[in-house]
Structure 1
Amino acid sequence: METRKQLRKKRKKKRKKGRFFLPVMIFLIIGVFAYAGTQYWLGTQISKDAEALNYNFENEFQGVKNQDGKINVLLIGVDSRGEEQSRSDTMMIAQWDGKDDEINIVSLMRDIYVDIPEYSGYKLNTAFYLGGPELLRQTIKENFDVDVEHYMIMDFVAFESMIDALAPGGIQIDVEKAMSENIGVTLEPGIQHLNGQELLGYARFRADSEGDFGRVRRQQQAIEALKAHVISFNGVLKAPKLLGIAQPYIETNMTSLRQIEIMSRILLSGGGELQRLTVPLEGTYSDARYEGVGAVLELDWQKNNAALKEFLE
């Protein structure tokens, strides 16, 4: 058995270690915040001359917070080209589950025929044109019964800028075929490293038999490649700077601190497993055409909503 003298010596050693450990931890925390703040500021300086998104939405976004701790963000990709109103080119629901360390991405096809609240039947991407992110949120809730807490609108210029800042050498993608029509770049088949403009062109290509379904598949593939790069050591270090660069090209109801918090939690958790879903599912829709609307996708709502609920819950 240990004597009282020996026990006292042990307690003194523990107290000394504690007195040393606490200042070191405080110093490290201050250092991390100082680094992140500096990198964020440097990012804002890179894009300080950029023309910021300037939407004036009449309706305030009424996001609904999940009770289970999961975070649902409505991602809206636009190619505004200076227009005050534009249809949403890309619509996704990104869900992060911090408990199980999972990231779920749902791509909603823009030609889905939906009921838009206070309007009639239109394509899903028309909801953003008519009433911004809040009307799109209401439309998604009414038709798919899914709530989202936040929204983030990103102009495609931001996508290009962030890729070039994150990966000056490009993002590795296996380009499955030659691509050039209506994407502003020419891509050849094979594994290669794509810069921002090239990766955006790859993600937007739809001049083949797959059409919009192929475009959505490539968007999800690009996101997965980006995630793998971001959670690398180099990507983690660049994350605050990327947020700074992207600020002029992004409009969101999240504060900068909230964005940094969510990104930090994802990165510190190791990035999480990424699961992908496209709505409508294969074999659960039919093609139709309506006067004044054009070609649309009519869904089997029961099958699609059941699959969507299972995927997100």
Structure 2
Amino acid sequence: MEENRLTMRRARRRKRTRRIVLGFFVFFVLIGAYVVYEYTAGLRNANQNAPGMNESYGDEPFEGSESPEGKTNVLLLGIDQRGDESTRSDTIMIGQYDTDQNKLKLVSLMRDTYVNIPGYGYKKLNAAFALGGPELMRRTIQENFGVDLEYYSIIDFDGFVSIVNTIAPDGVTINVEKDMYYKDGVQTIDLKAGEQTLDGKELLGYARFRNDAYGDLKRVERQQKVLNTLKDEFVSFTGLARLPRALGAIQPYVKTNMGTPAILGFGTDFLIKTPDDIETFTIPKDVGYTNLRVPGEGAVLSHDEEKTKEALQSFLE
């Protein structure tokens, strides 16, 4: 009798175990199906509107160097692709993710920083991209600042608009510090001071605005502020649910040498252990500079090269 009861209990446990395993299997199949569907939908919608990243951006392959142990350094470039124009990088950043210390650092390199571009002499930093793509930009940063970069990622600004509208379809709330107005043949920026809820295009305009006495100085601060805000949107519950569609939506606007395993690895680490804040630094503003006018280059930011190099390396240690 006792043996029969034991046999029946074992049978019930096995049955419960099978149900649990089956439940997990069904759950992960559904999650996988959802991710594939959302990613495909985002990609399909993007391909209907995106011109694509058609330029080669320099003939030299990107010869990235391995990052310091436990850290990954990525060159981040934002561009405004306008037909067949020679493209200069409007936004130049170095992102460093330290998986051991769970730290995310972001360096903004002001585009008018006066640097020695290998093979071309002293020019504004953003000229390096137009002259030789991400590889020449990598070499310029390495030779001027002594920072090794392992990966690069180029995003067209239309991609920024697409991913913001996908992650936050109701807009992103941000405090606009003053009225901002600018108009040319391509874009119009018209924002009022105060707390505003901005869609992707408006948020891009806020991040790019520099039509005042501060120029690029305040613009890089706004870019850093926007990225910190978007980080919180990404890791929110609704942001995570929309992430697969956002990844599909941004793909046609991005060019990178990061493979899928690297992206998934860093993405998983970031979502599991999201840093509280993004530590920021700006070159050369946070070190010191002098406004200088150079024939053929116009207004540039001259700086103490050794002091700038030491400060940047110290920040990324």
Per the TM superposition, whether the score is higher than 0.5 is: yes
Deviates more, 1:156-165 or 1:28-37: 28-37
The alignment partner of 2:106 has SS state of strand
Offset of residue 300 of structure 1: 1.4
Letter aligned with residue 46 of structure 2? S
2:47 corresponding residue in structure 1: 48
2:211 corresponding residue in structure 1: 207
1:288 corresponding residue in structure 2: 292
Deviates more, 1:259-268 or 1:59-68: 259-268
1:219 corresponding residue in structure 2: 223
Separation in structure 2 between the aligned mates of residue 72 and residue 216 of structure 1, nearest angstrom: 19
1:76 corresponding residue in structure 2: 77
The alignment partner of 2:34 has SS state of helix
The alignment partner of 2:189 has SS state of coil
1:171 corresponding residue in structure 2: 172
Separation in structure 2 between the aligned mates of residue 81 and residue 306 of structure 1, nearest angstrom: 36
For the pair 1:151 / 2:152, whether they are aligned, the reply is yes
Deviates more, 1:242-251 or 1:257-266: 257-266
For the pair 1:253 / 2:252, whether they are aligned, the reply is no
For the pair 1:230 / 2:234, whether they are aligned, the reply is yes
Asked if the contact 2:167–2:246 (Cα under 8 Å) also holds between the matched residues in 1, the reply is yes
Which of 247, 266, 269 is matched with 1:265 structurally?
Answer: 269
Separation in structure 1 between the aligned mates of residue 118 and residue 27 of structure 2, nearest angstrom: 51
Structure 2 residue runs of 5 or longer lacking an equivalent are 1-9
Structure 1 residue runs of 5 or longer lacking an equivalent are 1-10
1:109 corresponding residue in structure 2: 110
Separation in structure 2 between the aligned mates of residue 66 and residue 204 of structure 1, nearest angstrom: 30
Q: CA RMSD in A?
A: 2.5
Separation in structure 1 between the aligned mates of residue 28 and residue 129 of structure 2, nearest angstrom: 41
Letter aligned with residue 37 of structure 1? V
Deviates more, 1:61-70 or 1:197-206: 61-70
Deviations for 1:78-130, whole angstroms, at most 9, x for unmatched residues? 11111253110000011111122211110000011111111111110000000
Residues 138, 17 of structure 1: alpha-carbon distance in 2 compared, 3 angstrom cutoff: farther
Deviations for 1:247-293, whole angstroms, at most 9, x for unmatched residues? 11111112345334322321222354311111113462111122111
Asked if the contact 1:101–1:273 (Cα under 8 Å) also holds between the matched residues in 2, the reply is no
The alignment partner of 1:35 has SS state of helix
Separation in structure 2 between the aligned mates of residue 272 and residue 102 of structure 1, nearest angstrom: 8
Separation in structure 1 between the aligned mates of residue 12 and residue 103 of structure 2, nearest angstrom: 42
Letter aligned with residue 38 of structure 1? Y
Deviates more, 1:149-158 or 1:300-309: 300-309
Q: Identity of aligned pairs, percent?
A: 43
Offset of residue 220 of structure 1: 0.6
Deviations for 1:151-183, whole angstroms, at most 9, x for unmatched residues? 111111111111111111111110010001245
Asked if the contact 2:88–2:127 (Cα under 8 Å) also holds between the matched residues in 1, the reply is yes
Letter aligned with residue 122 of structure 1? K
Residues 101, 32 of structure 1: alpha-carbon distance in 2 compared, 3 angstrom cutoff: farther
Letter aligned with residue 38 of structure 2? Q
Deviates more, 1:277-286 or 1:102-111: 277-286
Asked if the contact 2:182–2:188 (Cα under 8 Å) also holds between the matched residues in 1, the reply is yes
Residues 259, 66 of structure 1: alpha-carbon distance in 2 compared, 3 angstrom cutoff: same
Offset of residue 35 of structure 1: 2.6
The alignment partner of 1:86 has SS state of coil
Offset of residue 195 of structure 1: 0.5
Separation in structure 1 between the aligned mates of residue 27 and residue 282 of structure 2, nearest angstrom: 42
Residues 264, 69 of structure 1: alpha-carbon distance in 2 compared, 3 angstrom cutoff: same
Separation in structure 1 between the aligned mates of residue 298 and residue 116 of structure 2, nearest angstrom: 15
2:303 corresponding residue in structure 1: 299
Letter aligned with residue 44 of structure 1? L
2:31 corresponding residue in structure 1: 32
The alignment partner of 1:53 has SS state of coil
1:126 corresponding residue in structure 2: 127
2:191 corresponding residue in structure 1: 187
Which of 196, 199, 203 is matched with 2:200 structurally?
Answer: 196
Q: Calculate the TM-score normalised by the size of structure 2.
A: 0.88
The alignment partner of 1:180 has SS state of strand
Separation in structure 2 between the aligned mates of residue 244 and residue 142 of structure 1, nearest angstrom: 36
Asked if the contact 1:110–1:124 (Cα under 8 Å) also holds between the matched residues in 2, the reply is yes
2:243 corresponding residue in structure 1: 239
Separation in structure 1 between the aligned mates of residue 55 and residue 85 of structure 2, nearest angstrom: 7
